[in-house]
Each structure stands twice: as structure tokens, then as C-alpha cells.
Structure 1
Amino acid sequence: MAGDLGRVPFQKMLNDFPVQVVKLSELPSSSSYQTHRHSFYMLFWTIKGKGYHRINYCNYDLLPGTVFFMHEGHVHQMLKYPEDGYIILFKQTLLDDYLRSNPLDEQNGLFDYFNRQPFVILNESVTAVFQVLIPLTAKDALNEPFGRSLNIELSLLLFQTNRLFTNPNPIQDNPQVDLIRKLRVLINANFHTERDAPFYGRALGLPARKLNEITRKHFGKMVKRLVADRLLTECEALLGGTNMLIKEIIIELNFADNAHFSYFFRKEKKMTPSMFRKRMHDLQQNRTD
């Protein structure tokens, strides 16, 4: 298909190790300056200087003391690296290990795929934890076989980081945690074609009204809004990070026609799809000039 040439490229890990710790001054390439998606999870800790990057087309400053968490599949682009810091890359299996021990963290706080504040500011005690654990994690990540110590170190970093993130409505019982996790999986798998609550309610064995009550309590949003958020992220990714024609994007995302697509995008972003694409391309061009 012609549109396949325009997909947002996936950035792979630097090697086959399940965890990699990279000091910013030792990064091997500048590929992150191009819009890409991750095939891994990432913690980005800024120690010194100021940088800038985009996650799902939202701009964020990289300031000393901040730690960003980025999901597998997020659209990412570096604009400027800070002077000093660390990047920790890790695979899905290690996040799964962490969540088995901390099930209430699944799709909660920083680990919520739809979270629009994907960072925390470290306090003094958690900074001390990072200062101790990052060198240990870097050392253990280079050794084979990968033992329990590596899992413990990464788990402590994830645990301490997410505890700094304030979630006003945490879900406290496992059945609802599992329900929200399944809903997230379903939305990610079906948002191209299924936009309404009844589909997701049937898939989860709940009336749409009940499912909306749960999502409104936890997220302040109904199911249809959660699907629209995911759809918008994909619209932005295809417009800003690919050379796909508008008509190809309309087909890819199952909009009825150009008018339907334009109406949805203008309502969400207060600009036309073409205006958004031009703005993203201009920003990319300005960075490379």
C-alpha cells in the first residue's frame, strides 16, 4: 500500500538487552530528532541544563530534576537535549514484572497511556534514590544473565517515580483495575473502527451506562471521550509524522469522508488538518535549519 511508506517509524532499542541505561553525553545518534515511535518504554531523567521534546505532539521542557515516562508506541521527537542526564530504556517484560507486584499502578498515574502530564519533579529523597540506583542499573544491565537485582532496581525507580505523581481518583480494588486495563487494551485495538460505549460495554460484559459511570469516576470522561483522545493522537501522528495523503489518513482511520475528518480535527485542535501538518513540518524545518 502507498500509505505504508508514510508510517511513523519505530525506534528500536540500541541492542537486545532488556534494559539499557544511556548517559546523554554518550548517545550514539541523533535519530530521535526525527518524529518516531518507541518500541520500548523509557524513563528520561534531566540532571543539568534545559532541553525540549514532544510526546504525542505536546511540547514539554526537560528541566533539571524532572523525570519523564514514555510508553511503547508514543510518538516522540527530541528538539534539544539537556546538558546532562540519563535515559533508561526497557522492554515490556520488565514492566509486566513490575505490574505483577504493583497491580494498582497499571494504567494509573504516569503509567496511564493517555496521561497528558507524563512527568514528575523529583524531591530530595527520590533524587537520592536515582543517584544510587542509576549507576547500579547501568552496571547490571551490561551483565548476563539478567538477574533479580536488575528487576529490583528498575522496579524501585518506577515505584518511587509513580508515587510522586498525584492521581486524584485512584482505583483501589482489583476488579476495577482489571476492567480499566481491559478497556485500554480494547480502545487501542479498536479505536479505528469502534467509537461508542456500547461496543466496549458488550466486550467487557457491562451495560454502556455502567461503563461510563466507571470511566467518569476515574478519568472525569466517558468512554466516547477516551476513544476520541486516542483517535486524536493517531490523527496527529499521521499528519505530523508521515507523508500520507489526507485521503489515505481518512481511509486509515475510518472516517466517513473529508468533511467528517476535518470537523473532528477542527473541533479538537481548533485548526484544520492541513494547518496542523504545515505547523509541524515548519517546526521540524526550523529545527534543522
Structure 2
Amino acid sequence: MNPHAGIDTQLVRELLIAQFPQWCTLPLAPIDSSGLVNAVYRLGPDLSVRLPHEPSSTDMVQREQTKLAALAPFLPVTIPSVEAIGSPRDAYPGVWSVSRWLTGTHPTADALADPCQLATDLAAFIDAFRRIDLPDRTPAYLGERRTRASMVSLDAPTRDAIGALAGLIDTRAALASWEESLAAPYDGREVWVHSDLTPGNLLVSPEGRLTAVLDFETCGVGDPACDLFPAWHVLAGNLHDKFRTALDVDDATWLRGRGRVLSQALIALQHHRDTNLALANYARRAIGKVLAAPR
């Protein structure tokens, strides 16, 4: 089975019939997403089905279920809740899950109903996440290879991406911005971080309030700078001071956060500019905002 093909509505329906017949007659529809890891389907009004593009028989979903249940009481907005775990079958040789459907829409930077309130809500979520104290301190990870990514470990792939994007971006400005972030000191302090607070993992209400945060696969303990992504992905520059003040972000952490956003966006654009238009557009916007920021 090709891990990036073969997942369709018929397959998901067959899996439900075989394993969760109580839900098999509910309406089922694919969700258009720029995500690279999972295929997601809406199941009736209250549920969703998620199948990793790369099927695995490991206990990843079970670990995620346990992690989400442990984190939820500490957080000010809703996060996913795994309702059932599907087992591997010949048609889909991996573990998959059924979760509660979370309402809201993904924020668009130039169409926020209440940008100031959203900045406050995002800071409150990040602050609450940082304050979590659980015995399981699994390292967070970030990056295409899903390894725990220090700034130094991101240096080579980031420079490679800058070189590969010559003609598409201002490579001189990108390199200067990256080197400034790379030089920012880090004292090694670690806190709980989501590490992928991009628009596709955020949901907001029609009034512009943050209602839910998705996809905790990458979360764990790491550099506090990992959760500053919304500053460049979602918030306008005139809200950066408000966001920084709410989180008490010093200059070095801000620079590392800016560098992490730039690195992720550069690498995403390098690898997906011709294959994932939505992701490439997110990346282009983030790169543009980072390079437009004063240095």
C-alpha cells in the first residue's frame, strides 16, 4: 500500500463497518487540509476520523490519547479527545482514531474578527501550556524529520532551503535574518510547548475568540521560543508588543522564535511548493512577514 494514496471515503467507511458499526451509517466526508501527516474525515455532526498517511502499528495513537487526557484540565480552550482507536486491517495496516469534532474556523491573518482579543487568547493558551507540570516530560519535536530540533540542528537544512529558493525569495535577507536568530543565546530552560501553533492547528469562533487547538503530536518539553509561531503566522506586527508582554518574552527568545518560524516556512516551501498549494502559501506569507520585520 502506498502510504500517501489509497485512503478514501470508501476505505474509511469499510473500517467503520468492521470496527465501529455504531457509527458506520453517519455521514462521512473528507476534510480539505494542508496537513502532511493525517487524512481527516468528518463523521456525522460530532466526530472525526483520522488516519496517518504512513500507517503504523505502534502505540502512537494510544500515547496521544493518554497525553491529551492529561493535558486537557490545564488548558483554557478545548483540545482533541480520542473517543475510539481502530486497529490495523489488511486494507489499512495501521492504527487510526475517532475523535470529537471541534468547531471553529482556521484564522486568516487579514480577516480576523477581533485581532486584539485573539492575541490575548493565544498568549493565555501558551502561558497555560508553559505552566503545566507533568511527570512525562517527553521532548517536543519540530521539523520534517520529526526529530527534536535545536536551533543548531536546524542550521544546515535551513541554509539548504534558502539556497534552493533563490529566485523565489530574498535569499540575502533570509540568510541575514536566520543568522541573527541562530546567534541568539538560549539558557536551556524547557517548558511544555505545542511546537506547531500554525493557522491549521488553531480554531476561532465567528467573534474571533480562540476556541480550540489541534494536533498535539509534536508537543512536549522544549525551548519556549517554539510556541511564538502565531506572532508571524496570525498576528499583525502592531500586536507583537501586546503578545510579547503577555508572555514576558525577552529579546533572545523572540529572535529564536522568529528563526524557528522562518526555518519551518523555508523548508516547507522548498519541499512542497509544487505539491501542496495551501501549505506553500502559508509558508510564503510567514517568510514575507519575518523578512519585513525590523532587525
Given the two structures, how large is their TM-score scaled by the length of structure 1?
0.28
Q: Point out the structure with the larger strand share.
A: 1
Name the TM-score, length of structure 2 as normaliser. Answer: 0.27
